[in-house]
A and B are shown apart, each in its own frame.
Chain A
Amino acid sequence: MSERNRLQVYEVLVQETKDKFPVNVGSVRAPSPTLALQMAREVFARRENCVKVMVVNREAVHVLDDEEYLGYARKKVFRLPFLREREARPRERNGKQEDAG
């Protein structure tokens, strides 16, 4: 196997502050998780503070990216808090209409 194929791709996650979830910010190519972490710190956390850096071997990530399937959550009428016909009417914040639902 050639030198370039042996290196693995690691996805990098950075947690900016403790009250936020870590976010995927990019990737590095490294021979081990330890070196991947060092590279990730160097590339993604050199200039900006954060509380945690994580790396995940890209091959260990399970992906669902069917945009049609993932994109229709908001189209389900039964997940809305009101009946469809209410949508057309102007919303009245503290008015009687609010509790007519």
Chain B
Amino acid sequence: MTGYMTEQEFYRYVENGGKVDATDPMPEAYKREVARIMSFQALAEIVGTLLSAEWVPKAPSVIRKMMYTAKAQDEMGHAHILIRQCEDIGVTREQIIEEYLAGKRKLLNIFHYGFDRYEEMVVGMLMQNTGAIVQFQSLVKGSYLPYIRALRKIMKEESFHYNLAVDMVEYVTKNGTNEQRQIIQEAIDTWYPRMLAYFGPPEKGEPPVDALRWRIKCDTNDDVREAWLEKIVPLISSLGYTIHDPLLKKDERTGRWSYTEPDWEEVRRVINDGGPRSAYWKEKIRKCYEETRWVRDVVSRYSAGQAAAVGA
């Protein structure tokens, strides 16, 4: 489709809603930007897997343990689907993990924190899943077709995780103790500002960033943040809890939300220098990567044998 286009024509094409496939010719800058965004999400899914897997032994019943095993598998499945798309444009899975371990790749702010208790974890999941859903709903309108196809598959399972999170919060609320309900409310207070920051700082006043201009991203960070508020505010109150933000309000005329701006200095510090669990996750991934090296070596030797057998 994009085969006969000059670079300028290509950019005009995507700016006007044109779609691009992995096999189409595309400018290096566009390819880099697509790979950057997809590999960023892929890394998040890998960390998400470990985060879910960690709660398998700690979950309070056998059925919840099984549900968490399924969730961890889903996250790894998402990572795999995204990584395949990255590899098709030149970024490998080894590169994503090794660059993260070498400190060349940053994690989302929410992955620099952890959960001390089950009740806190279920709230975190509720917040994170709703955030991911609104973000994917925006990204799926983008210009890069392999990412769109990947997101469609991921969104199906993400809505399962969302329902699971709602169910867990409801279950603890209904059957738990006052102390447990208190922890849920405190977790909402803790995670709400982190989630506001999760969508990134506003692009205010600056010329549109490349990702937006080329429609790899389709909405500004502020728009996605407000789409999340639109979803989470009624949800939290329907579950019987409160978001404690004195500035939180929807202007019914414009449809825009006002809220307490996250402390962006703090967010940048956490992303660059780490938060309470940054070192923990990195060490865990390093260990996983090293401990499973023998599996990759076996696979590698085996495939060498296969290649030799067919004379390739």
Contacts and interface: CB of A to CB of B under 8 A. Distances in A.
Contacts of B73: 42, 46
B23 A65 contact: yes
Contacts of B299: 7, 31, 35
Contacts of A27: 84, 88
A6 B300 contact: yes
A31 B84 contact: no
B213 interface: no
Given A46-B77, A65-B23, A26 B87 contact: no
Interface string B284-312: 00000000000011011011101100000
A46 B306 CA distance: 27
B153 to A, nearest CB: 7
Interface string A1-32: 10110111100000000000000011111011
Contacts of A43: 77, 80-81
Contacts of A46: 73-74, 77
A47 B87 contact: no
B158 to A, nearest CB: 12
B1 A28 contact: no
Given A4-B92, A43-B77, A29 B84 contact: yes
Contact of A31 (B1, B80, B302): B302
A67 interface: yes
Interface in B201-250: none
B84 A7 contact: no
Contacts of A25: 153
A4 B306 CA distance: 15
B87 A6 contact: no
B157 interface: yes
Contacts of A39: 80
Nearest to B73: A46
A7 B176 CA distance: 50
B81 A26 contact: yes
A4 B300 CA distance: 8
A29 B73 CA distance: 17
Contacts of B303: 6-8, 31-32
Contact of B84 (A28, A32, A65): A28
A53 B81 CA distance: 16
B117 interface: no
Nearest to B77: A43
Interface string B59-100: 000000000000001100100110010011000101000000
A16 to B, nearest CB: 14
A3 B84 CA distance: 16
A4 B77 contact: no
B153 A26 contact: yes
A31 B94 CA distance: 16
Contacts of B297: 3
Contacts of A47: 74, 157, 160
A38 to B, nearest CB: 12
A1 B308 CA distance: 12
B300 A28 contact: no
B256 interface: no
B149 interface: yes
Contacts of A1: 304
Contacts of A4: 92, 94
B77 A3 contact: no
Nearest to B293: A3
Contacts of B80: 28, 39, 43
Nearest 4 CB-CB pairings of A with B: A31-B303, A3-B300, A6-B303, A43-B77
19 contacts: A3-B296, A6-B304, A7-B303, A8-B303, A9-B84, A26-B84, A26-B149, A26-B150, A27-B84, A29-B87, A31-B302, A31-B306, A32-B302, A32-B306, A35-B299, A39-B80, A43-B80, A46-B74, A63-B23
